[in-house]
Structure 1
């Protein structure tokens, strides 16, 4: 019997034939299992992409909306101004960087883009040089409200400056004077003399008609970028100062997701008709930039303040004479007879006040003011503040689980009434503060440019004590709001939620320090 002995060459030929047959059979089976659909053939080159025509109606609507946004920009931009002032002599805080060899390629960019800039290598070990008074920097925005040169802006935009310059949309510049400002709403009124320049006043809308979901268009000069417009919607209405952290006591806020950044303050927030519905004021942000949570003072509040300042030179407010707490901050609202969270709770009735004369008592819940349901403390304060002294109003209250109506004759919020409230409220989270007088300034060896309130006492075991605050410390900032007086201290702290941790900047013998006061127990 003869046996076949395969050689290496024969083995290679057999292997090659086996692979070839497997490839042919596999291709045939694949073609048989997945045949091409009828009428189609295999392509050896990629086919051209399909062209899809946009729906005509959808495109028409989108283009109409785009046209509306452009129209708003053309209408409102000429009414939006930049507020400029001399650069501050020295910032409170400054980043320090290790020296680097050679010039910093990004230094000029940051100096132009940001107000304070980044210190040059020569400056880093020391303080920055003092800028000249003639060097102007953008501080915020404003909106023209009359053809003869009246301008609305925020008080914090012009606070502490001795010269104000207004730049129009075409960069014409005018010296401005401060007509008046109101710390309780953060509204200020400026005046320029336009001469032969034709000003374009904005159309002021009605903020009481604003609804959640309405278009919201913000204009201003963020980071000095003139005539910037952003678009969003009204995210919420009736936001209280406690919710925003703005520390402003006599107004509510419109919340929007239209981008608002540093430099937008004082500029207009508009609706789709180009009407101003608010004055952009604050943002809520852990980064310092917009994260889609911005706040504007309702234009009706701004108009009220402006009219008062122009007519009287000050804001005359109505006064009820009660200390209040928001219902949501009450530990057990059901104990008050409340079935839903609405209204504000009376904690204290001021002696000889309109509230006492009307018969209001502690633990009463104020549900309505002249027929308007009350959302929070700021809402009631705004309504009372805009009521002319001497006006009789109706208050629907809840007492011992029963609703009733009482009438109150609104008084005037005088300096004496405000001072009395200030004295009662100058203690907060275990801190008792007082005015930084010249005598205290000398005793503490403080320079003249330091402004704040001095800590007179710290209660043992209090949140302030746990934070490390000491007697003699000078508090300059609370919750990102500058503190220049006890009135500022009261205005800011009265609107801080008890459950919130609060950053505080203070000055002591070792220099500037930032501490965090924990929530109340």
Structure 2
């Protein structure tokens, strides 16, 4: 009877279970256990009937023992019932935790609408951005073995399903081999389709499955406004894909090509962080469309200082089309070598001083006079170009800018200062010798 009474007391009392649930609640405020689940065993005695029956049989069998063993049996029964009660309570607690796990409520992270748009833009455009490794051949000084070692890296993006990758020319310059790593970390050997040193643009090609190639959506750069948001995706410092944000700080900037020094016009200036490794990566607008190719930063330390530059997509698009079709860019030239702008300024005139005009070049054929020395060693200045097609030429950048608007085969009127008078000379523009 004592054992049965003790078991009934331990099983029927609800405070231990309630206090257990309360202690769990105090430890984790975000987890709430259902009391209806915890008390279901007490409201449904049939679940406990096998245990109660076994304990009753044990109690009845113990009542027939001898008087000398009665006290020992009673103590053993009490200890057994106590252990059983503790084990049963623990089992109910564990079982209830498992059943209550379905009722745990996790508060979702709340993001603002602009944050959600940025997250979505990164997730949708990251598969289009690739990592490019520039490999160079080096000979070991001790073993004389020829090895390929990484000499640089940069970013790029998928242009089409044929496997064309667009990046900066300075990212691949001097490479013996190139590796392209896609967003899924698969790596492929890349071949150079063509490049334009003057505009710092290059096109590669990889033989990757089409289902792994996701072309980036191409936008326009003609209608950009200062102040609109932009996003740069790349692999700075060899890290995985990263996203930096900012605004357009300026338009129609001009920078010089790292390879040839030729000016690149209409460049986009942005304060989005652009660091080594971001070169060749895309600059996107808020809709996720390509508006530029990150190419350079203005910083003495080489790290982002809030002044980054991107080649506008309208310029890049025409170059890429020519490189894909012909493997080269056909750009017109005058066929001259001219003096540095500082030298002309020292003379006190404004224009481009012709140092050399090869006879087989467009300017030489048209009769432009180069700089030369007479029989006494005195320097005789050549023609000074002051305008082309009526557009004023004050320095070399002006001349390049005007020629960029022309095509091979165009006839332009070059006005020169020859001695103390001006002359107008028609010149037929031709492509570079290595592009013909």
Quickly name the TM-score band, shorter chain normalised.
0.5 to 0.7
**When the two structures are aligned, how many residues end up with a matched partner?**
311
Q: Secondary structure at the match of 1:310?
A: helix
Q: Is residue 379 of structure 2 the alignment partner of residue 365 of structure 1?
A: no
* Equivalent runs, 1:307-386 vs 2, <5 Å: 307-323=321-337, 331=345, 345=352, 347=354, 350=357, 354=362, 357=366, 362-366=383-387, 377-378=396-397, 380-381=399-400, 384-385=403-404
Q: Secondary structure at the match of 2:211?
A: coil
Give the 3 Å change call, closer, same or farther, for CA 399–271 of structure 1 in structure 2. Answer: farther
2:6 corresponding residue in structure 1:
none
1:81 corresponding residue in structure 2:
130
* Structural RMSD (CA): 4.6
Give the 3 Å change call, closer, same or farther, for CA 374–195 of structure 1 in structure 2. Answer: farther
2:307 corresponding residue in structure 1:
293
Contact 2:386 2:394 survives alignment (8 Å) = no
Q: TM-score, normalization: structure 1?
A: 0.48
How far has the Cα of 1:307 moved from its partner? Answer: 2.7
Alpha-carbon distance in 1 for matches of 2:313, 2:390: 21
Give the 3 Å change call, closer, same or farther, for CA 335–85 of structure 1 in structure 2. Answer: closer
Bigger CA drift: 405-414 or 230-239?
Answer: 405-414
Give the 3 Å change call, closer, same or farther, for CA 137–281 of structure 1 in structure 2. Answer: same
1:248 corresponding residue in structure 2:
261
Structure ranking higher in helix proportion:
2
Contact 1:322 1:346 survives alignment (8 Å) = no
Alpha-carbon distance in 1 for matches of 2:272, 2:346: 37
Give the 3 Å change call, closer, same or farther, for CA 209–196 of structure 1 in structure 2. Answer: closer
Any unmatched runs of 5+ in structure 2? 1-110, 370-381
Contact 1:141 1:220 survives alignment (8 Å) = yes
Alpha-carbon distance in 1 for matches of 2:272, 2:191: 30
Contact 1:365 1:399 survives alignment (8 Å) = no
2:271 corresponding residue in structure 1:
257
Q: Is residue 205 of structure 2 the alignment partner of residue 186 of structure 1?
A: no
Alpha-carbon distance in 2 for matches of 1:311, 1:275: 24
Q: TM-score, normalization: structure 2?
A: 0.56
How far has the Cα of 1:291 moved from its partner? Answer: 1.3
Alpha-carbon distance in 2 for matches of 1:187, 1:274: 21
Alpha-carbon distance in 2 for matches of 1:245, 1:161: 16
Alpha-carbon distance in 1 for matches of 2:415, 2:218: 32
Q: Is residue 420 of structure 2 the alignment partner of residue 409 of structure 1?
A: no
Larger Rg, first or second structure (1 or 2): 2
Alpha-carbon distance in 2 for matches of 1:326, 1:177: 36
Give the 3 Å change call, closer, same or farther, for CA 86–317 of structure 1 in structure 2. Answer: closer
Any unmatched runs of 5+ in structure 1? 1-61, 92-125, 337-343, 418-521
How far has the Cα of 1:305 moved from its partner? Answer: 3.1
Alpha-carbon distance in 1 for matches of 2:433, 2:282: 31
How far has the Cα of 1:219 moved from its partner? Answer: 1.4
Q: Secondary structure at the match of 1:204?
A: coil
How far has the Cα of 1:191 moved from its partner? Answer: 0.7
Contact 1:318 1:386 survives alignment (8 Å) = no
How far has the Cα of 1:397 moved from its partner? Answer: 9.2
1:305 corresponding residue in structure 2:
319
